[in-house]
Amino acid sequence: MALSGEERERYGRKLLRLTGRVDAGKLINTTINQDLSQVLDHLPARFVDLLFIDPPYNLTKDFGAASFEETSPEEYASWVSSWLPRLLPILKPTASVYICSDWRSSGAIQSIVEKHFVIQNRITWEREKGRGAKRNWKNCSEDIWFCTVSKDFFFNADAVRLKRRVIAPYRDARGKPKDWDQTQNGDFRLTCPSNLWTDLTVPFWSMPENTDHPTQKPEKLLAKVILASSREGDFVFDPFLGSGTTSVVARKLGRLYCGIELDTEYCCLAEKRLAMAEFDNAIQGYSDGVFWERNSLAYQNGNKRSRNIATDQVPLCLREERNRYAK
Ligand SMILES: C[S@@+](CC[C@H](N)C(=O)[O-])C[C@H]1O[C@@H](n2cnc3c(N)ncnc32)[C@H](O)[C@@H]1O
């Protein structure tokens, strides 16, 4: 997904820039195009139910307006400490917080979050893509620290179950499937969500959600986080929004959202994705209320979440994008 000059202008006009304190109503379903450090003091208290944080990792990376230089673990920890505690006042006492990291930054993140939150778990997800190394193990996993503000929090495990093909189809004494279902499309088991996620695919060029952002998270990853840790109508907040994945998935799943991103191009991409989400709320790998293993499209009964809106109802400016990926 790319932007034309006209789209840059149109979506650019929608972006918010805060110059003083605002109330939560002003932030509903918006993208703030500013440096996080300039915005933090203007945010209202206690409005966030779910905070998803995907900061730059401790790697040299070009994010357009916000390039990041690799530094020592101590300096990285000190950078995280310069903004993370300032996010505490915006959280409701029942809020959940997810913070992404890779193996290099995971230790620093843990040492900081354990000072401020109740750590509930560390999720590890397989990135699948990754460069092979001659003198090291290929790096293809990342961590997400799952924390809460208090011990009183919402978690819906049923909303994030994984549908797996049954490899060993055990039957009971009467010959009935044991904990699995026999269907026309094959034999499947619904499994409880674990803290090891191996069903994700990093957005690649032929996926509708793909943009030019260098570290875009998969929509399926955000769908797991949002479905497990928020209810419909809850407020989801992302202070490092990037290409907008958190807001887009929150919108598709009926949550309120707001994100902050320094780079204007990424903000406009986020707005374009949000406009597309109005007409197509499908999330690749999530359909019929369950998550599916990778490469299982052939077994899925069609994506029931897709709004299936007739092409002539989609604004002209978004039609070309939609047609490119029409199934
Ligand atoms: C790891 S990326 C987030 C990717 C995002 N989760 C997605 O799916 O596209 C981090 C983002 O934070 C932005 N960023 C870095 N420093 C920032 C700051 N001080 N204020 C606001 N945004 C910042 C970068 O431009 C980058 O897009």
Instruction: Name the burial class of residue 190, with classes exposed (0-12), middle (13-18) and buried (19+) by CB atoms within 10 angstroms of its CB.
Output: middle
Q: What is the CATH number of the domain that holds 38?
A: 3.40.50.150
Name the residue of 240, 258, 273 whose CB sits within 8 Å of the most ligand 1 atoms, as the mutation to test its pocket.
240
Residue 41 CA to ligand 1 center (angstroms) comes to: 19
Residue 63 CA to ligand 1 center (angstroms) comes to: 7
Q: How many CB atoms are closer than 10 A to CB 233?
A: 9
**pTM for this predicted structure:** 0.91
- For atom 4 of ligand 1, the residue with the nearest CA is 242
Ligand 1 neighbourhood includes 219 CB (under 6 angstroms): no
Residue 272 CA to ligand 1 center (angstroms) comes to: 17
Residue-range definition of the domain harbouring residue 11: 5-325
Sheet of strand 186-191, all strands in order from the earlier edge strand to the far edge: 181-183, 186-191, 162-165, 290-292, 286-287
Please give the chain's pLDDT, 327 residues, in tens.
Answer: 889 999 999 999 999 999 999 999 999 999 999 999 999 999 999 999 999 999 999 988 888 888 888 999 999 999 999 999 999 999 999 999 999 999 999 999 999 999 999 999 999 999 887 778 889 999 999 999 999 999 999 999 999 999 988 888 788 888 888 888 888 788 888 999 999 999 998 888 788 888 988 899 999 999 999 999 999 999 999 999 999 999 999 999 999 999 999 999 999 999 999 999 999 999 999 998 999 998 887 777 644 444 555 666 666 666 666 565 454
pLDDT of residue 171: 87
Spatial distance between the Cα atoms of 220 and 197, rounded to a whole number of angstroms: 11
Q: Kindly give the number of the ligand 1 atom that is closest to the alpha carbon of 100.
A: 1
For residue 266, which phi and psi values (nearest 5 degrees)?
-65, -40
Interhelix angle 264-277/245-252, rounded to 10 degrees, is 20
- Give the bridge partners for 21, in sequence order: none
Q: What is the total count of domains within the chain?
A: 1
Name the residue of 37, 38, 61, 63 whose CB sits within 8 Å of the most ligand 1 atoms, as the mutation to test its pocket.
63
Residue 270 CA to ligand 1 center (angstroms) comes to: 12
Ligand 1 neighbourhood includes 218 CB (under 6 angstroms): no
